[in-house]
Structure 1
Amino acid sequence: MTYVVTERCIRCKYTDCVDVCPVDCFREGPNFLVIDPEECIDCTLCVAECPVEAIYSEDDVPDDQKGYIALNAELAKQWKPIVERKDPLPDADHWARIKGKLGELKR
């Protein structure tokens, strides 16, 4: 089992989760973070740190977010690791609770 970043992270990209990850399994895209399933050790530390509650264990991903399991695996192979906390995107608070953001994802 691994952890998965879901839709709520799109256009927010809070990086509190990155600070607590002991194995640096987060990967950074232009407006989204993903977890590399090959690196994740299932420690759960990132879940509590996400201010928008975007991170779930693979077994607990909501049905309407299941596609993010494959998306995390795919994008983790393309994006570079992020190992330090950064400021969120400038309009993160606005986008934090908006639903249906997959079309906003920049690859």
Structure 2
Amino acid sequence: MTHVVTEACIRCRYTDCVDVCPVDCFHAGPNFLVIDPDECIDCAVCVAECPVEAIYAEEDLPADQTHFIEINAELSQQWEVISRSVGALPDADDWKDKTGKLDELER
């Protein structure tokens, strides 16, 4: 099993989760983070660190977020590994409580 970053991260990209990851499985895109399912060791340390509750164990994903399993797998192969936190996106606080953000995902 692996952990998955879901829609809540889009346009926020808080990186608190990155600092606690023992295996550097996070990858950063323009406005979203993903987890490489081949690198994740399922430790769950990142879950509690996410201020927008965007990270789930694969088996706990809400039904409307299961498509993010594929999105994480795909984009983790395209984006660079991030191993240290960086500041959130400038307007992250404006987006953190919004839903229906999939169209905002920049690939």
TM range (shorter): over 0.9
Question: What is the TM-score normalised by the length of structure 1?
Answer: 0.99
So what's the TM-score if we normalise by structure 2? 0.99
2:67 corresponds to 1:67: yes
Mapped pair 1:48 → 2:48: yes
What 5-or-longer segments of structure 1 have no aligned partner?
none
Tell me which residue corresponds to 1:30: 30
Q: State the Cα deviation string for residues 10-35 of structure 1 (Å, max 9, x = none).
A: 00000000000000000000000000
Which deviations, in whole Å up to 9, do the C-alpha atoms of 1:42-63 show, x marking residues without a partner? Answer: 0000000000000000000100
4+ aligned runs moved over 2 Å, structure 1 = none
- Per-residue CA deviation, residues 73-99 of structure 1 (Å, 9 max, x unaligned), is 000000010001100000101100100
> What is aligned with 1:18?
18
Aligned length: 107
